[in-house]
Amino acid sequence: MDSMINQELDAHPVFPPDIVVQIKALACELPARHGIPLSRFTCNEIAVEAVGRGIVAQISGTTVWRWLTEDAIKPWQYRSWIFPRDPAFAQKAGRVLDLYHGIYQGKALETNEFVISADEKTSIQVRRRKHETVPAKKKNGLKVEHEYERVGSLNYLAAWDVQHAKLFGRCEAKTGIAAFDRLVCEVMSQEPYASAKRVFWVVDNGSSHRGESSLKRMQSKWPNAILVHLPVHASWLNQIEIYFSILQRKVLTPNYFTSVEELQATIIGFQKRYEQTANPFEWKFTKHDLGKIMSKFKDAISALPIAA
């Protein structure tokens, strides 16, 4: 019995807590900062590095993996992100977040005021597969031919009424000011938006609706429409992107269309189908939540030059 216990202890040696902490800290380091020609550590490399630094005399990659898994640290994984570069990021984003909760400049929106989230999904390719798609059957999922030929592309512009879950959209051969104006006209020329007190249009900084000139252009054509720009690189705060992600999952993945016309008909068909059962998105992210995130970057953002 004593022999079996000793074997189990040898198989899983006990390390002091401070060693575990040092290993986890090592896992969070960037190898390049220490002159190591790696983009990120694997568990085995962490084990080797720990021995080389004298943290432990011996440790296995499996032990490192077990510790990191328990603590949800996975240095072999990564995701891309964009650092907020606009010193007024919180102010601009906060204005949009207030609108999503029915507030503008500290006052509640009236019943005849609306919030529209709009954007373009650009360059949607038409991929004609070189063999017909095989439907799913017992023990086999859908089979989509890997090889395809590109037979064109289109752009999809859409607008989402945040409070009332109304959806507008159109397919265009090109994006640009003219295409975006046609989408705006489609919305603003019908009720209740035509006679609304104010209609707030939340948009990003794409070329179709960028800068001070876009504000003036919108106001001159539609006096009751107010263009509200998100900060740069803040499309994740644009509710229409949620709908675009649904469209991507349900319609465009996998992509197997035979023509631009078929793709267009499918997108518009899905738009109509989706709107029939749509509800406003349960948007819970607030200015308070944003403030907690921005506080992490406060010092770095304060050092940035003021954006024009």
Q: Give residue-wise pLDDT tens across range 41-53.
A: 999 999 999 999 9
Instruction: Report whether pLDDT(21) > 90.
Output: yes
Read off the amino acid at residue 150. R
| Nearest of 81, 98, 113, 114 to residue 296 by alpha carbon | 81
Read off the amino acid at residue 5. I
pLDDT at 292: 86
- The pTM assigned to this predicted structure is 0.79
Q: Give residue-wise pLDDT tens across range 77-114.
A: 888 877 777 888 989 999 999 999 999 999 999 999 99
Q: Give residue-wise pLDDT tens across range 135-191.
A: 888 878 877 877 778 888 999 999 999 999 999 999 999 999 999 999 999 999 999
Read off the amino acid at residue 241. E
Q: Are 302 and 87 in contact, with CB atoms under 8 Å apart?
A: yes
Most confident of 30-44, 148-162, 245-259, 263-277: 263-277
Mean pLDDT of 253-260: 89
Q: Are 232 and 100 in contact, with CB atoms under 8 Å apart?
A: no
Whole-number Å distance between alpha carbons of 37 and 31: 7
pLDDT at 11: 53
Q: Can you spell out the DSSP letters for 197-235?
A: SEEEEEE-S-GGG-HHHHHHHHHHH-TTEEEEEPPTT-G
Pairing relationship of beta strands 198-203 and 113-129 according to DSSP bridges: parallel
Mean pLDDT of 31-47: 92
CB atoms within 10 A of CB 22: 16
pLDDT at 3: 41
Mean pLDDT of 260-277: 96
Mean pLDDT of 115-128: 93
